[in-house]
Structure formats: C-alpha cells, structure tokens
Structure 1
Amino acid sequence: MIEALIFDVFGTCVDWRNSVAREVAAVLPEVDAFAFADAWRGEYDPAMARVRAGNRGYIPLDDLHLENLHIVADRFGVELADPEALNRAWDKLDPWPDVVVGLNEIRRSRIVAPCSNGSIALITRMARNAGLPWDCVLGADLAHDYKPKPEVYRAACAALRLPPAKVMMVAAHNSDLRAARAQGLATGFVLRPQEHGAQQNTDLLAEDDWDIVAADFHELAARVAGQ
C-alpha cells in the first residue's frame, strides 16, 4: 500500500502564473505582467540545468529566482527599486481551488509532502501563505540537486524511511513522473491545463500508464482512499 504521497508544487499544487503576474503588475504596471511572469519562469529550467550538469554548485531556487529576475528586468528594460521584495512573489503563490481540501482528504490516511525544486524555506513560506497542510517539506535542499535528477526522488524516500514502492510522486508534468518511476516510485498524474494559460500545449494528457490519472485533487483523494 502507498504510505506517502509526495507532490510537485509549481503548477501541480499552486497557480504560479497568475500569482506572479499579480505581484509583477503591482510593482511594474508599465509592463505586460503575464509576459514578464512567463519570461521569469522561462529562465527557471535553464538555471537549474547548469546545476544539474555540474557547471555550478547547488544554489537554492530562491537565489536562482533572484538572478533570473535581474535577467528578465534587463530584457524588459525596467528598473527594480527592490528586487528582493518582488522575488518574494514566489512565496505568495495561490493554490489551485481543489488542492487544500484534497490534501486534507489524502492526509487522513497517508503522509503528504512536497517534493519540489523550491528550497525548504521557500516551500515553507508558500505553505503558510496558501494553507497547504504538509506533514513535512522535502525536495531539492535534501539532495543538493534538482529534479529530474534521481537523487531528489531517492532523498525524499530516504527522509521518510520508506522504500520507493510505498511512495507516490504526484505531478502535472509527465517528465517528472517518468523520472520518479525510473527510481521505483508509484506515479499519479493530475491535469492542470491552465498552468501556462489558455494557450498551453504541454501536459494536456497522461502520456503513459501512470498508476493514477486524476482530473483534480478531489479525484486523486478518492482514488487513493480506494486503494
């Protein structure tokens, strides 16, 4: 039986795009807030890729976000009076409407924890803001590396003192689940067709025979309860 579910956070649990755009609009009303948010997020994977490739040591995502903010601000030709304050937009991401209730439903019988590329500090602040009821916070800080590196999934299982077969990785991203399955974890896919806005063209369906495929966290909770 699955004893713990670990979750991707950005996109799966929280609506980063609308939340970040809201904060950008408040600070930089002269720019297209959604274009700025998309560009900022667009620097996310390239920044982590340099760490994953060993081209630089591990740097918490908080700091990568700040570096990326300066890159994007230069690209948009804007001056930031307080970059660190705007960087805290990532602490204030709103959960998708089904997430808090769904997590509480799952938590009645299973451990729930994030397995995120966010730092422990970032994910903790986000959880307090969004009311996410995690039992603990896992992820990149434990492994000093970023998903989809195998070490991140293995470190999460080790921290819970559970074999991978008793842990389910839940994500709205097929690539995350492929990497988790390769390490022996069970997999749960939850559809988030609006993560990247109305024009999203990725992760619109389950691309493999994941152990659970659910429309939202309510369905996920019901499927988990039935196991």
Structure 2
Amino acid sequence: MNPVPRILAFDIFGTVVDWHGSIVREVSERHPQIDANAFALAWRAGYQPAMARVRSGELGWTRIDELHRLILDELLLRFGLDHLGEAQRQHLNHIWHRLDAWPDSVAGLTRLKSKHLICTLSNGNIGLLTDMAKRAGLPWDCILSAEVFRAYKPDPRTYLGVAQTFDAAPAEVMLVAAHQDDLAAARACGLMTAYIERPLEFGAGQPKDVSPDPANTLHARDLLHLADQLGC
C-alpha cells in the first residue's frame, strides 16, 4: 500500500493543459497561411534551451513570459510573420495564458482537491498560471511557480520548495506530471510521483511513448484515473 500524499503538486504544460492543440487552434485561425503544427512544436522546442541560458547564468532570472517572447520573435522571422506589430506580438505571446485544459482536468482536479491540497509546480510564471487558471476554471488551492523559487525545474529548489512552503516533509508531496524526467528529478528529492499519460501532448502526428516506469508511485491514464487511485 503506497503512503497517501498530503500535497499534490502539478506540472502544467502538457499535464493539465493542452499547449499543442491550443496553440495550433489559435494560430490556424489567426494566421492560416503558416503551418500551425510546426509553429507550435518549434515554439516549445525553444523552451529548454531558453531556460538553460538562465540556469547557466548567461541570462539573469527571466520569467517564462519573457523567454517565450525571445523564442517568438525568432519564430516570426522564420515563419514569415515578422510584419506583426508590437501589440500583435504581445497578444500572440500571451497565448500561453489562454491554453485549454485537457477534458478531464477540471473534474479530476476538483475530485483530487476534496482530499488533498492541490497546487501548481510549473516553470510558468505566476501571472501566466493565474490567467490560465481563471480562464480554464482550474481549482487550485495555491499557485506555485519557478518564479517563487527563482529556479527552473529540475532544480531541487523547486521540488523541495513545495514541501517547505507547506511545512511538509518531501515524502508528503506527490509531483503529478506527464514527463518522466520531471518525475525522476522530484523522486531524487524524496517526493512521491504520479505519471499521467498524455499521448497526444505533441499532437496526433507525434504520439508519445506513455509506457509505465515502475519507479513512479502511481501511473494514471488521466486525472480522473488518478482520483480513482487515490480514493477521491
């Protein structure tokens, strides 16, 4: 019998919200002349290299909104959209604030909240996560972000910071994520881990391998299945 976590901390992009589908839908509508799938994938592909510049010290602490904008300005040139003005660029950059939740997310989180404290643990900044939660109806008890800890996952300060925030032992916290590398880093800090299958995170053209990793505490098809497993 697995111990029961007091706190569930959630990765957001890909785990709770569908970043790829949301970006493809909006970009297709606004800029039908470009390949929205390639645009979405390229924007996300710039995410880790941009954070690496912060981790290495090349950039000082920089919020994800600003990193997304650095990537976006390069993409607009690449995709022939460099004619867009500043207001249009700002609006497009804030697409990350408008991501749609996966169909199970709100109901699953609501059930999980009935027995656990639920919070975000995302590299997204606080304003982004708050706008997203308000729009999508995500019922967080608390919004925590890399911005709070001035460190991007997988820095241990993020995972241990959740425990410290709630005066909890790391073993009382479970990270819920659709990414095995995130979960492995959380386990190394003493957290429990739950893997959520999101086979279409990168779109139907690039299905993900969602095979179970026995190192995880739990493995769930979606957040409703996780709620079933935790008795919520």
Counterpart among 80, 84, 90 of residue 80 in structure 1 = 84
- What percentage of residue pairs aligned between the two structures are identical? 45
Structure 2 unaligned runs (5+)? none
Provide the C-alpha distance between the structure 2 equivalents of 1:182 and 1:54, rounded to a whole number of angstroms.
Answer: 24
Which residue does 2:131 correspond to in 1? Answer: 125
1:77 deviation in Å?
2.1
Query: Is 1:69 matched with 2:75?
Result: no
Counterpart check, 1:52 vs 2:58: no
CA displacement, residues 185-213 of structure 1 (integer Å, 9 cap, x when unaligned): 00000100000012335442223421010
Task: Give the counterpart of 2:218 among 206, 212, 221.
Answer: 212
Q: 1:13 deviation in Å?
A: 0.3
* 1:20-70 Cα distance to aligned partner (Å, 9 max, x none): 112212332211111111111111111011112222211010111111110
Query: For 1:6, what is the secondary structure of its paired residue?
Result: strand
* Match 2:39 to one of 23, 36, 40: 36
Cα offsets for 1:106-152 (capped at 9, x unmatched): 10010001100000110000000111000010120111111111111
Matched, 1:223 2:223: no
CA RMSD of aligned residues (A): 1.3
Question: SS at 1:123's partner residue?
Answer: helix
Aligned to 1:198: 204
The residue identity in structure 1 corresponding to 2:180 is: N
Size of the aligned set, in residue pairs, is: 226
- Helix, strand or coil for the counterpart of 1:180? helix
Match of 2:21 in 1: 18
> Do the aligned residues in 2 keep the contact of 1:174 with 1:206 (CA within 8 Å)?
no
Partner Cα distance (1:35, 1:147) in 2: 25
TM-score, reference length from structure 1: 0.95
- State TM-score, norm by structure 2: 0.93
Unaligned runs of 5+ in 1: none
Instruction: Tell me the secondary structure at the aligned position of residue 114 of structure 1.
Output: strand
C-alpha distance in 2, partners of 1:45/1:32? 22
d(CA) in 2 for partners of 1:120, 1:160: 18
Change (3 A) 1:36 1:125: same
